Amino acid sequence: MASFRTVLGLVAKQTCVFRGPIHKFAGVQRCMSTGQYEMILVDKRGEKKNVGVITLNRPKALNALNDQLMTELGSAIAGFGEDTQVGAVVITGGEKVFAAGADIKQMANQKYSDVLYKGLLSHWEKVTGAKKPLIAAVNGYALGGGCELAMMCDIIYAGDKAKFGQPEVLIGVIPGAGGTQRLTKAVGKSRAMEMCLTGVQVTAQEAEHWGLVSRVFPAAEVINEAVKIGEKISSLPKISVAICKEAINTSFEATLHEGMHVEKRLFHALFGTDDRAEGMKAFMEKRPPNFTDS
């Protein structure tokens, strides 16, 4: 298995932006002046085509996350957010690399004043603003920004050969898009320190044991399994799903008392929806509910 330095070296050799195949999808807002994405592929899958799938598509750069790719990703997520048919979104990469990290070539010559005033990486947080659940389907390397992108998602499924790591210290920096924060909350202080202070990579099996990923599957099955859980989520009331996601995310930023207060109020709010009434009525009548997302 190649080391992070090998992966980094391969990224550094890239001298131009990869113009990957363009996948047209009318239901998603475009961010490029041409009206087409260049660094991601966008699709809808599932029996009812109710799961959005976004594939990072810079294979020659090992899916290094530059500004253009992240802008396109944010645009595609926003587009799926407006698509009433879609209830969940899967984010995936290639068979061997989910994402090797942020684009080092883009950052290498910048100074402190440049990154401070431009807010380098700050726009990545738009991913976490998605109201619909995001599911990361990770095969191969998820290093640095790639690991951080996976952690921005709500659920992580991993292939059995996947590797996770925060190796930024090896090139003289630290994680800048949540690696020291979300990783610590996911795996605890000691393991986060080990990963961030040494750059060591962990296997999918270790990541599952530590609580970083939900499940591990054979590599060929990861995307299908992610779509399956996306279909399950999409079959449920979208308002309830969005509010449940909000309540869980609140737990990361609030005390238990504050979080319980928010949860209770969100629970109460759902009594104003038609789907709550239909769900309870269907339960009492012993029949499947007919949700209308209202």
Does residue 208 have an active-site annotation? no
Q: DSSP labels for 69-137?
A: HHHHHHHHHHHHHH-TT--EEEEE--SSEEE--B-HHHHTT--HHHHHHHTTTGGGGGGGG-SS-EEEE
259 is catalytic: no
Q: DSSP state, 102?
A: B
Q: How far apart are CA 87 and CA 85, in angstroms?
A: 7
Give the Cα separation of 49 and 224 in Å (integer): 13
Cα separation, 261 vs 267, in Å, equals 10
Reply yes or no on whether 145 is catalytic.
yes
* CB-based burial label for 270 (10 Å; 0-12, 13-18, 19+): middle
Q: 221 catalytic, yes or no? A: no
Q: How far apart are CA 121 and CA 144, in angstroms?
A: 12
Catalytic residue chosen out of the listed positions 102, 177, 192, 219? 102
| Separation CA 178–CA 121 (nearest Å) | 10
Residue 181: both structure tokens together = 């924060």
Residue whose C-alpha is closest to residue 191's, from 158, 166, 162: 166
* Catalytic residue of the set 72, 168, 208, 231: 168
- Selecting among 140, 145, 146, 176, the annotated active-site residue is 145
Active-site residue (options: 72, 148, 208, 231): 148
Q: Could you give the residue numbers annotated as active site? A: 102, 145, 148, 168
